[in-house]
Chain A
Amino acid sequence: MLYEQELKTFVEGTTNFFEVAAQQPASIGSPYLMEGAPAVHEYTGVIKISGKREGVVYFTAPKAMLTVLLMKMQENDFSHETMRDLVGEVANTISGNARRDFGRDFVISVPSVLSGEKPEIPQRPGQRSFIIPINWRSHSAKLVVSLT
């Protein structure tokens, strides 16, 4: 069972990044349950969680959104490595927020970054995953929370 406060912490970690780094807030869409294969875009930042809860939380975004986000951050390098760095930083922020709010009940890994069309997300079979759309300008990314 995922508690509302837990979900809020992950969502705020994500939207905070847009609000501060790009000076333009993101909005969230209605959460829904994931069905089938993991929903991913080109770049994905993943944190693994253990302790009181087990599972993963990941932020996945299309290249077009990350490109505009980098522009808003006054960045001139739009290379693959920079895109990876950027989703890693978003995941870092989510992780930092979770550590602050959940304390030692949650053991949170250092974020890892995946890219490509079908990255392997470390998920348990049968685990329920919530997808929260993260909308920013004309783009949409996803925050996926998959915890038991």
Chain B
Amino acid sequence: MSNGRMNGNGKRSFKLMIVDDSNLMRRRIERSQQFEELQLVGTAADGVEALELFRRTDPDVVTMDITMPHMDGIECIARLVAMKPAIRILVVSALADKATAVEAMERGANGFLNKPFTDRQLNEAIAELMR
């Protein structure tokens, strides 16, 4: 991955942004991810909030829900990738159909995790994203 940052200890670190319209799911992802190199820079409840947060915090890694009010995840992915092509996006969605996954990947997502998920599944998906 090209856009990790070096921290003071000479290790790579990544800024993480969590986007989901459910408070519960945002907390779940924040609590369940177990990577020291991930630094949470903020959470957003929809695509519009996510774009604002992106401009302020410049995240490297994003978890993205699809079904959200105001701006859905598919459009948000396209806009984030247009602003920062090296950004890594993991879609975390209950939409289990292939068409949704394919569309998200075509817009620039790098991985897809179905809800509900276990801690292990989430961490494996994030690890894959940061490789």
Contact = CB atoms under 8 A, between A and B. Distances in A.
B116 A89 contact: yes
Interface in A65-91: 70, 73-75, 77, 81-82, 85-86, 88-89
Contacts of A2: none
Nearest to A97: B96
B28 A73 contact: yes
Contacts of A95: 94-95
A93 B28 CA distance: 16
A82 B24 contact: yes
Given A70-B24, A99-B100, 18 more contacts: A23-B118, A75-B27, A75-B28, A81-B23, A85-B22, A85-B24, A86-B24, A89-B25, A89-B94, A92-B67, A92-B115, A95-B94, A96-B93, A96-B96, A96-B97, A99-B96, A100-B96, A110-B67
Interface residues of B, number: 20
B31 interface: yes
Range class of the A interface residue count: 20 to 34
A99 B118 contact: no
A21 B96 contact: no
Interface in B90-107: 93-98, 100
Interface string B23-46: 111011001000000000000000
Given A82-B23, A88-B22, A89-B94, A96 B28 contact: no
A51 interface: no
B114 interface: yes
Contacts of A93: 94, 115-116
Contacts of A74: 31
A145 to B, nearest CB: 18
A16 B116 contact: yes
Contacts of B98: 100
